[in-house]
Amino acid sequence: MIGIVGCGLIGSSWAAAFLRGGHDVVVFDPAVDGQTLRERTVHRLSVDASGGAPPSAPGRLTVADAFDALSGCAYVQESIAEDASAKRALFSQLDRALATETIVASSTSALCMSDLAADLPGRARFVVAHPATPPHALPCVEIVPAPFTAEEIVMRTEALLSGIGQTPVRLAHEMPGFAMNRLQGALLLEMIDLVREGVVTPGGADALIRDGFGMRWALLGPLEAVHLNAPGGINDYFTRYRAMFDGFCPDGTRLDDLLTPQTRAALQEYCLAETPLSQAQARRDRRDDALAALRAWRAERAV
């Protein structure tokens, strides 16, 4: 049994994701009436199922009217408002109410667990599982352990999420804004620069991504993508375009300061495992066909 506490846009989406994955789910949100909770969740399930492969038998949804209903859960996903005090109070309550082996994961996008659960007896079971929003539609979930989070809790969280088709991405440690928003932040700040400098309009800046790289990154990670854009793979890419990247680096730094030999080797190893150079052209052809199909799909569908 999976518990969802806080059932707004994110909580109801989590509920749909776990139900689709075959888990029974109990949702609890004292601020929302049961009928609304059920409708939100069921809508999300129906939309997802309509577009793709039929889901395996979905689990059973229970709308709880009392906190006690969570006591039988193996995993609780907290998705209440982004308020540190409210989360601290809730975690204290959950730590007392839940069986010791129950995992408590938070959907927080920016608060560190070491600031929310450090004083609790059961703090080792608390972890951040911050989803791309909404999680029933976007697979990525960044897993951010506090220094006190047990390794076993992280591994069980990853296994649970992988099991329902999500993509857990574990960070080595807490950091402000975690990694997902830090990546988005880098792109947004660069867009803001371009607009402030008068190089493009805001609409132009959006189009540069939405009608270009955004479509590519919906199919391939940015590293995998540049690996395909040079004959010798990602290492060759960053060698060919070194001068351009030097120009993008913060003042006083150059690409080679950031892309150390060790980092280069790690990127190369990963990319070659994904796509050996002997398969790169076939992968490019598949990419291009998929992108053309994505363009056609998008044109048919109003967003």
Cα 101 to Cα 31, 73, 105: the distances in Å are 28, 10, 13
**Residue choice 163, 185, 231, 232 for contact with a copy of itself (CB under 8 A):** 185
Residue 182 in contact with a copy of itself, rule: CB under 8 A = yes
Footprint of a copy of itself on residues 197-216 (CB under 8 A)? Answer: 198-216
- Phi and psi dihedrals of 126, rounded to 5? -95, 135
Cα 90 to Cα 18, 22, 76, 81, 113: the distances in Å are 22, 27, 12, 11, 13
CB of 212 to a copy of itself, least distance (A): 3
By DSSP bridging, strand 140-145 and strand 126-131 are antiparallel
Beta bridge partners of 25: 2, 61
Point out which span in 30-38, 59-67, 116-124, 285-293 binds a copy of itself (CB under 8 A): 285-293
By DSSP bridging, strand 25-28 and strand 2-5 are parallel
CA distance 227 to 265: 13
Cβ closest to a copy of itself, residue 93 vs residue 201: 201
Cβ closest to a copy of itself, residue 95 vs residue 224: 224
CB of 175 to a copy of itself, least distance (A): 6
Footprint of a copy of itself on residues 109-168 (CB under 8 A)? Answer: 110, 132-134, 136-140, 142, 167
Point out which span in 28-36, 114-122, 154-162, 289-297 binds a copy of itself (CB under 8 A): 289-297
Cβ closest to a copy of itself, residue 119 vs residue 193: 193
**Residue choice 86, 89, 186, 282 for contact with a copy of itself (CB under 8 A):** 186
Residue 39 in contact with a copy of itself, rule: CB under 8 A = no
What single letter denotes the amino acid at residue 184?
Q
CB of 228 to a copy of itself, least distance (A): 10
**Three-class secondary structure of residue 174 per DSSP:** coil
Quote the tokens at residue 100: 């010791």
**Residue choice 86, 155, 218, 277 for contact with a copy of itself (CB under 8 A):** 218
**Residue choice 163, 177, 231, 276 for contact with a copy of itself (CB under 8 A):** 177
Residue 8 in contact with a copy of itself, rule: CB under 8 A = no
By DSSP bridging, strand 167-170 and strand 25-28 are unpaired
Cβ closest to a copy of itself, residue 77 vs residue 102: 77
Say if residues 95 and 5 touch (Cβ distance below 8 Å): no
Cα 6 to Cα 27, 39, 123: the distances in Å are 8, 15, 20
Beta bridge partners of 78: 5, 106
Say if residues 256 and 264 touch (Cβ distance below 8 Å): no
**Residue choice 92, 181, 235, 254 for contact with a copy of itself (CB under 8 A):** 181
Q: How many residues bind a copy of itself (CB under 8 A)?
A: 112
CA distance 138 to 68: 30
CB-CB neighbours of 280 under 10 Å:
19
**Residue choice 38, 67, 124, 241 for contact with a copy of itself (CB under 8 A):** 241
**Residue choice 223, 276, 279, 282 for contact with a copy of itself (CB under 8 A):** 223
CB of 113 to a copy of itself, least distance (A): 16
CB of 63 to a copy of itself, least distance (A): 21
